[in-house]
Structure 1
Amino acid sequence: MLRLRDGLYLTSTAIVSRPLRSLLTLLGVAIGIAAVTLLTAIGEGLRSYVLDSFSQFGTRIVAVHPGKTQTGGMGGLLGSVRPLTRADAEALRQLRHIEAVVPVIQGNADIKYRQLTRRGDVIGGGYQLAEAWRFKLALGSFLPPARDGRSPPYAVLGAKLQRELFGSDSPLGELIRIGDTRFRVIGVMEEKGQMLGFDLDEVAYIPVDWAESLFNREGLMEIDVVFNSGTSSAALARRIKSLLHERHGAEDFTITTQDDMLASLDRILGTLSIAIGALGGISLLVGAVGILTIMTTTVAERTAEIGLLRAIGASPRQVLGLFLAEATLLSLAGGALGLLLTGMLLGGLHLALPKMPLALQPAFIAGSLLLSAVIGILAGLAPAHKAAQLHPVDALRGE
């Protein structure tokens, strides 16, 4: 009868006695584990980054776009029967539980101050844009409400745009030219950074009615509606749909809630994370083939030892356990080495690309070790079964 202590000794000795071969097998598993863990961390980091970027505008927000979109896509790219107007935005403002309504037009124009000119993004928005989008001001104030049906020609600059045009000087009260129209600067936004490649700090904000004239548009690109906790996004979407249907005579608009958008993004990015991790799984397959190869070779080399074990009373199950334990130990050691390699790679990526989103969770670490153990068991199962089925006499005679 084979004792547990003897079994552990035999298993560890078998691995240590062939250090080079064992090391190469460990590296195969380690590279696979490192690839899966690293790619999954990048995928999860990207997923969190995108969701956080969209969530920074708040979760109680509903967007209305012109044009009816049936199967996704950008709502303003489709032709609508009737464009969304500032009058539609004012009508939405009368609904219950509304905190802010922001009509939006976006375009691109030359922005000039004295001899300096740069091409930049321009957002025409309502006076509640900063409040609705959770933007804060570093200097001055945001755009005021319209007076007598017309907004004053004021502009608010993004932090980076302000530095490029004015340097360290205060821009408040200065006149700039956007396109062919002069605007007086009344504020500077706090730095917001980038969102999916769009730099929010390089934007000039002007009143939406001036943006209509500047970009020669007949309607809005979007209306953002922010609501309070007294209602839900679904209930508000139904009321918006009813009101605009009554005004337009048809459903020629698309309503998107923040919940719907975040849920769709989460599904898409979750699938992307799985796909990225699966690419790293190819390396794990290589590691599994390495374990299968070394265990098959080991069985062939240790035929006499297997026969001797069987002759002194070791059962087929105990022989099976010995070889499975050896394969599992190899894969677990490879998994631990892979996690160490992952840590080094993540540290190097953080130093080289500090802005790259990475999210290594404890569940990934535990899952990687479990995965390496499963790989060892599966790869070692066939050779171990072959060893357990050897007849003691035939094994000794074959040697």
Structure 2
Amino acid sequence: MLCSGLFLPAAGACFVTLAREPAFAAGYGYPLMNKLVVGNLLHRPLRSLISIFAIAIEVVMILSIVAIMIGMVNDQKTRTSGIGADMIVRPPNASFISAVGGAPVPAKIADVLRKLPHVAVAAPVITDLSTAGTVETIWGIDYQSYNALKPFVFLEGTPFQGPDDAIVDDYFARSDKGHHVGETIMIKAHPFRISGIVEHGKGGRKFVPIRTLGTLIGTPDNASLFYVRSDDPKNEGLIRQEIEATPGMAKYQVQTLDEWMSMMTPARLPGFNIALRVVIGIAMIVGFLVIFQSMYTAVMERTREIGILKSLGASKLYIVNVVLRETALLSLVGIALGMLLTQLIKLGLTYRFPTMTFQLTADWRVNAALIAFIGSIVGAIYPAWKAARKDPIDALAYE
């Protein structure tokens, strides 16, 4: 016979069931305990569902922010590796995040770099972070030198035909309701005609002439950084020395692409760790409070039934075990639901925003599950301890 909760409405039925459990007298009635756990959760289905959804939301919160941040970093790394450059040259004190910092140095520095013995190509670029509508990076390029690093692969259209032309990649072309060659799009509150659609993976998703973008941000003759392709990758060390020996460029930052890649980790992103800790903290508090309230209320409702269990020989450990097993079961179901909801969110975002990379990793799936599980168990410890401390005589007299 299955007790609903720690009890049936007819307490005598539960009493008979417990009395017939030979292992219960010794305090180890685990088959019965599992029945009690399931029965307790089914006895208050709404409360159980609320607890499950709270844990699921905790998992979704953690996984979503991590997936978006990691996706942004890895997407940027993938696209930068497809530019065709071997080295990156930045002005002094510039951030390693290319879209931050404007265009502080003259684009003509590219001419200086091209004259160095082991430099095959030097391309000036402006990378400008735009928050109009969506957060994205607009790339201003000198088409001839940028294309010389590694040629664009055109799917439709042509290179720039004028100063107000734009090249977009196939991901952007598929976004929203779709975009096509000849269409006018707004970039930095300025109309641009799409002159060509290219394969993704060439650094940006929207490219405009460098001088046009420079004019829009107030620095028409400047650049943010320079991409350099060497005549031979073995000469990267020599190129670094040559740049540092060039008058006026001793303090410029010179990195190989591999060095830059090693720096592009979520932990190096400004505010990532702070944001992650805040989200995890809020998620844990939500999970903790919901489980605490749910288990505490359940214990208060079962005062008389706990007294019956203890009068039949149930130990404190047994009572604690029942409460913690209920919590563990709620946690596991909530974690599974959270993983499913996160996957659905990923599918929805990928469909709605093709340019967004939402990357779920196995490590963070495990981390989110552990955080949610541990937070739930911690939230159930006090209610379990309070249930175990109930005096059986007082509990049996409870009305």
Say yes or no: TM over 0.5. yes
Q: Which position in structure 2 is the counterpart of 1:387?
A: 387
1:61 maps to 2:73: no
Aligned to 1:224: 227
TM-superposed deviation, 1:227: 3.4
Q: Map 1:1-399; keep pairs closer than 5 Å.
A: 1=26, 2-58=28-84, 61-65=86-90, 68-69=92-93, 74=101, 77=104, 84=109, 86=111, 88-92=112-116, 94-95=117-118, 100-104=120-124, 123-124=141-142, 129-136=146-153, 163-164=181-182, 191-192=198-199, 199-200=206-207, 202-203=208-209, 223-227=226-230, 231=234, 233=236, 235-236=237-238, 238-244=240-246, 248=247, 251=250, 253-266=252-265, 267-269=267-269, 272=272, 275-276=275-276, 278-279=278-279, 282-398=282-398
User: Distance between the aligned counterparts of 1:71 and 1:47, measured in 2?
Assistant: 15
Tell me the distance in 2 between the aligned counterparts of 1:121 and 1:372.
41
How many residues are matched?
331
> In structure 2, what is the equivalent of residue 211 of structure 1?
none
Sequence identity (%)? 24
Structure 1 CA distance for aligned equivalents of residues 199 and 94 of structure 2: 33
**Other structure's SS at 2:109 match:** coil
C-alpha contact 2:244 2:251 (8 A) present in aligned 1? no
CA shift digits 1:168-226 (9 cap, x unpaired) = xxxxxxxxxxxxxxxxxxxx9871459787612x4489xxxxxxxxx996x98755332
Which letter does structure 2 place at the counterpart of 1:22? S
Where does the alignment leave 5 or more consecutive residues of structure 1 unmatched? 108-119, 143-154, 166-187, 206-214
1:361 shift after superposition: 2.9
State the 1:325 CA deviation: 0.8
- What residue identity is the alignment partner of 2:245? L
Deviates more, 1:332-341 or 1:132-141: 132-141
Change (3 A) 1:68 1:355: closer
Per-residue CA deviation, residues 358-382 of structure 1 (Å, 9 max, x unaligned), is: 1123444443333332122111011
The residue number in structure 2 matching 1:179 is none
2-side partners of 1:11 and 1:105: how far apart?
A: 63
**For residue 121 of structure 2, what is the amino acid of its counterpart?**
V
Deviation at 1:398, TM superposition (A): 4.2
TM-score relative to the length of structure 1: 0.66
Q: 1:285 to 1:232 in 2, by over 3 A?
A: farther
CA shift in 2, pair 1:121/1:54, >3 Å: closer
Aligned to 1:334, what secondary structure does the other structure show?
helix
Native 8 Å contact 1:320 1:388 kept in 2: yes
- Matched residues in 1 for 2:313 and 2:220: separation? 93
Q: How far is the alpha carbon of 1:257 from its aligned partner?
A: 3.4
Q: 1:350 to 1:77 in 2, by over 3 A?
A: closer
> In 1, distance between residues paired with 2:224 and 2:328?
59
- Offset, 1:6: 0.8
Q: Does the 8 Å CA contact 1:328/1:376 hold for their aligned counterparts?
A: yes
Question: How far is the alpha carbon of 1:136 from its aligned partner?
Answer: 4.3
For the 8 Å contact 1:102–1:225, the answer to whether it is kept is yes
Where 1:231 maps in the other structure, the secondary structure is: helix
In structure 2, what is the Cα distance between the partners aligned to 1:249 and 1:286?
55
Which entry has the higher C-alpha Rg, 1 or 2? Answer: 1
* Cα contact 1:40–1:277 (8 A) shared by 2: no
After TM superposition, give the deviation of residue 7 of structure 1 in Å.
0.9
Q: CA deviation at 1:33?
A: 2.1
